[in-house]
Structure 1
């Protein structure tokens, strides 16, 4: 095999010592053939002489040799310089089913705890530093939920034009399912007095029969769990804040999967999330502790998930991998089994029309 040596002469010009460059076919046969194939005008080159002597002496490859691997198989993780990212649509459907089940569980817990909240006539709102500093604004809840609706649809639009949309949607659905499941637990185990003195709560039925609970869940689902639609008239869903979960997650998703150079886009979503959370507090839709816990849980689950997903060594449970001790790690392993690296920030039109007339756009 031809071997190329790059050296630098006294005039700073590169000297290429290549047997094939001389046109002699004998340079392919072995070490001696390579020795006789040097061009005459390089015969006195000190660097080339040293190279020939050292090669003839031990036959080893030097640091300046160019090693060409022929027929080497690509890594199962990387192929063509990009990670192997297998998009499994049915896993995205499983993740969406997981989200839907936990959303229904969350609404079921709300329909149940509505019967357990303390009587507003006997138990005033709990002391809260934010409530002491700022007066209540009833209309602020509509502003917050309008921001939530915008963030949900715009973030969904961003994910749909992502090149690896099925992987990203799968992750978002699964993380949201985890957050709703944990919120169902905290909501069910502890009930606190209603934070607002003006928010309308439906009268208690003093009954928790399954048919009544199902009717309440259907009513909540018809309004997508938002008060702005007039269907959320049940109280008790405080710890922790679902509004904060959605607003925080929307910002984190946009920050993670949009182009890095879109600094202003990231800033817009950061401001929207902050304003939405502020409006929730001003409307007395949640206590401050609900917001703090909601932000903490959402950000930690998101960051832990993506730390595991972006590091292949952490995808394997081991004694020293403490992140793998999370109770949801087996589910994580199921969804991320065939995702071989960091998902790049690349985009393409998701529909067959008019994609055939548009060049594929990839932005990293």
Structure 2
């Protein structure tokens, strides 16, 4: 292939023109140049028709006129050997996936999966459940021992409290609060069961509940407050804390799920911080975070139920006001910190600038969350293998 030296020297920019040409004008000039045999027209067309044998858009001809728009008398000829090489490029033994059309197929690797994965890891969920149960037993054991250290209310009155001092105690209010606790906790459980990633959500709740129970067992034991209510029934003291006595009290408390409405919670001294407030606030946070966005009325009702439940605890003199405030603060801070860590992969690693990694429970968190690939989406499905009509696959909706 021979190029016009004038064309190569004047048009080094690979296809530029001295002036813009209209549609078809350039083609007419090339044809005229081919007919007249002028070298100027050929020099201009040389910039357009460069030698690019691998491009499928460059048509090849069987005749001497190898390139479209170039006359047979021009210098832009290719010999027969070049033509054979070009036409047989797809069948060359050294080129894989060749074809007779001259198109080279390149095997491209499959794109990497960018969608985060959310493994079930059921055994981790079971371990988180055991963690919660152990700490719940630890809390009840702490209460069983604290009961023997509670100041006698006949000798020591309740502590001054800005709310309790101005509200007359109503025993029925505690039952209302515990009924709301049962409603809220069961509602939160329903949303967890129907969540598509229910095992991830469940083990998060188990882990958070376990941490809250663990801290409550410590704060309850180290500082024992006088009984806030003058009418709440407290079992007589045994004046000893033998392992057998503590075990019996723990079994009695567990049988009633820690609620006084069942008649099993007859031990006093579990004040800092309020377990009723913990369950109410945590249930609301579960519903708010893991329910569909369109369930705004349910979110408002859940918030209202939490507010009423906390107020009823204070009306019944079941807790001091400071117990409720500490319980709210501890529960919400733990929830927000945990989910901030879980939703940001960079915060799951130790580093000089990640001060959240210095939390004492960070190692536990990292073990349970290290395989969760991102923010858990709001997706839901039918949890049971029957009826089958509910198992039909529908597009996931992050609503």
- TM-score band w.r.t. shorter chain: 0.7 to 0.9
* Cα distance per residue 1:62-121 (max 9 Å; x no partner): xxxxxx99424314xx33xxx211110000000000000000000000000000011111
State the Cα distance separating 1:133 from its structure 2 match.
2.8
Q: Residue 122 of structure 2 aligns with which residue?
A: 89
Change (3 A) 1:176 1:357: closer
The alpha carbon displacement at 1:360 in A equals: 4.0
CA 1:71–1:218: 2 relative to 1, 3 Å: same
CA-to-aligned-CA distance 1:214-272 (integer Å, 9 cap, x gap): 00000001101100000000000000000000000000011000011211111011011
For the residues of structure 2 that align with 1:180 and 1:130, how far apart are their CA atoms?
26
Instruction: For residue 319 of structure 1, report the CA deviation from its aligned partner.
Output: 1.0
How far does residue 358 in structure 1 lie from its aligned partner after superposition? 4.4
**In structure 2, distance between residues paired with 1:113 and 1:344:** 43
Question: CA, structure 1 residues 357+273, in 2 after alignment: closer, same or farther (shift >3 Å)?
Answer: closer
Q: 1:74 corresponds to which residue? A: 112
Q: How many residues align?
A: 306
The 1:69/1:293 distance shift into structure 2, 3 A limit, reads: farther
State the partner residue of 1:4.
Answer: none
C-alpha separation in 2, matches of 1:69 and 1:281: 71
- Cα displacement (A) at 1:355: 3.6
- Mapped pair 1:341 → 2:379: no
- SS of 1:235's equivalent in the other structure is coil
Which of 231, 235, 260 matches 1:202?
235
| Displacement after TM superposition at 1:290 (Å) | 0.2
For the 8 Å contact 1:85–1:338, the answer to whether it is kept is yes
Counterpart CA distance in 2 for 1:69 and 1:234 is 73
- Counterpart of 1:280 in structure 2 is 313
2:143/2:268 contact within 8 Å kept: yes
TM-score after normalising by structure 2: 0.73
Which residue of 281, 291, 298 maps to 1:248? Answer: 281
The superposition leaves residues 268-323 of structure 1 with CA deviations (integer Å, 9 ceiling, x where unpaired) of 11011111111001000000000000000000000000000000111111110011
Counterpart of 2:31? none
Provide the TM-score with structure 1 as the length reference. 0.80
Which of these two proteins has the greater Rg computed from alpha carbons?
2
Separation (CA, whole Å) in 2 of partners of 1:357 and 1:159: 18
- Which of 139, 149, 155 is equivalent to 2:188? 155
1:132 is displaced (CA, Å) by 2.5
- The superposition leaves residues 112-159 of structure 1 with CA deviations (integer Å, 9 ceiling, x where unpaired) of 000001111111010000113322111000000000011111111110
Residues 162-177 of structure 1 aligned to structure 2 (within 5 Å): 162-177=195-210
